[in-house]
Amino acid sequence: MLFPITAYDREEYESIKELLPPKMIDIHCHVWRNSDIDKSGDENKGPRRTVTWPDLVAAENPIEDLFETYRLMFPGIEVTPLIFGTTGGSSSAPESMKPQNRYIAKVSKEHGIPALYYSHPRQSAEELEVAIKIGNFRGIKSYLDLSPAYLPEKEIRIYDFFPPEQLEVIDRMGGIVMLHIPRPCRLRDPVNIAQIIEIKQRWKKLRLIIAHIGRAYCVSDVGDALERLCACPDCDDLLFDFCANTNAEVMRQLLDAVGPKRVLWGTDLPITRMRMRRIEENGTYINLVPPGMYPSEVPDPHLREVCEEEAEKITFFMYEEIKAMKQALENSKNASPEDACDIFYGNAARLLEIE
């Protein structure tokens, strides 16, 4: 078995099962083979500009592991994923993403599942367009650490990893842009908000998904972002996924602001295989984890081990995410648990044109 399922996990699954429709679409998951990641010249790459704890959960996530994860975590439910690769590491060269994209195109075709191309900001618009057509991709995903190495992490803007000429290509095809926003202030960051609005004003046909609710893992990360985005008429088809987010209050605020038709379920697998419960402390998140399960050489401020006894009541990050959405649907004035059909399936099915 890829990972064990405990009696406590089953109990937790029982508590969310009735919410979930028989078919679901996972709008956000990473699929890659370790052998396709370019590890050469790591020392020449810029400083690491991502959090370290996700590496401790899985070294790779080949397509077989993804399907096995769904089988173990959602018995009896048919899950269709929208797949894409993972970051090749800080400031990797454009060529280094090719093996991953080839693998994604191959398994997408073999399994008849939709996929996004993992783009690199130094690729020309022409090259991007050709690659997307050949691989039959639905759009692009990229990541802030592919921005130029000289940029300090806190200064990275959306256009540093999704340059305008690439967004132009996606707009022409009416494709998807899966956006993990940069910057330490996350969703409430005024530069992020201004660029999200600008993207929607300039490129009206592209479908922009703000991943992880704009990394608003704490209520204090939301600020006035939802009001400002809702006040912009060009943003009325802006989409949000809530993967790897476990904050029920942030989800409630999102549902109240945009309603249930623009919210999409994603898993961010393999990371949500992690066993953890997330708490908020001084405006940041801490993942409480079982002792010894995720040994880290460098201390990570986002990880904290609990005692053995407390660890027995820790289940998957994935279930915590869904439990939070369940609570948000119960508390929202603009959505109800019946909307789970749209959030876990219908909205993504319409976006991806899946029956």
Contacts to Zn ion by CB under 5 A:
268
Please state the closest distance from residue 274 (CB atom) to Zn ion, in A.
Answer: 13
Closest by alpha carbon to 89, among 12, 27, 16, 144?
144
Minimum CB separation from Zn ion for residue 332, in Å? 25
Pick between residue 51 and residue 279 the one whose CB is nearest to Zn ion. Answer: 51
Question: In this complex, which beta carbon is closest to Zn ion, that of residue 12 or of residue 268?
Answer: 268
Cα distances (angstroms) measured from residue 76 to each of 21, 23, 58, 343: 10, 9, 24, 18
Q: How far is the CB of 188 from Zn ion (least distance, A)?
A: 20
Give DSSP secondary structure letters for 204-270: SSSEEEETHHHH--SGGGTTTHHHHHHT-GGGTT-EEE-TT---HHHHHHHHHHH-GGGEE----BT
Least distance CB 181 / Zn ion (angstroms):
12
Q: Least Å distance between CB 134 and Zn ion?
A: 24
Q: Which is nearer to Zn ion, 199 or 243 (CB)?
A: 243
- Residue closer to Zn ion by CB (options 145, 268) is 268
Q: Considering the complex, what minimum distance in angstroms separates the CB of residue 281 from Zn ion?
A: 23
85 token code pair:
């690769």
Q: Is the Cα dihedral 297, 294, 29, 261 positive or negative?
A: negative
Burial of 22 (0-12, 13-18, 19+ CB in 10 A): exposed
CA distances from 145 to 98, 162, 188 (A): 17, 12, 20
User: Of 85, 81, 74, 61, which is closest to residue 2 (Cα–Cα)?
Assistant: 61
Q: How far is the CB of 262 from Zn ion (least distance, A)?
A: 19
User: Closest approach of Cβ 6 to Zn ion, in Å?
Assistant: 26
Shorter beta-carbon distance to Zn ion: residue 269 or 324:
269
Q: Which amino acid is at 319?
A: Y
Burial of residue 42, with CB atoms counted within 10 A of its CB: 0-12 exposed, 13-18 middle, 19 or more buried: exposed
Cα radius of gyration rounded to whole Å, the chain: 19
**Which of 268/320 has CB closer to Zn ion?**
268
The pair of structure tokens assigned to 316 is 């998957």
Question: Contact 148/120 with Cβ under 8 angstroms?
Answer: no
Between 144 and 311, CB nearer to Zn ion: 144
Q: Which is nearer to Zn ion, 84 or 319 (CB)?
A: 84
Using CB positions, name the residue nearest to Zn ion: 268
CA 119, CA 110: separation in Å to the nearest integer? 22
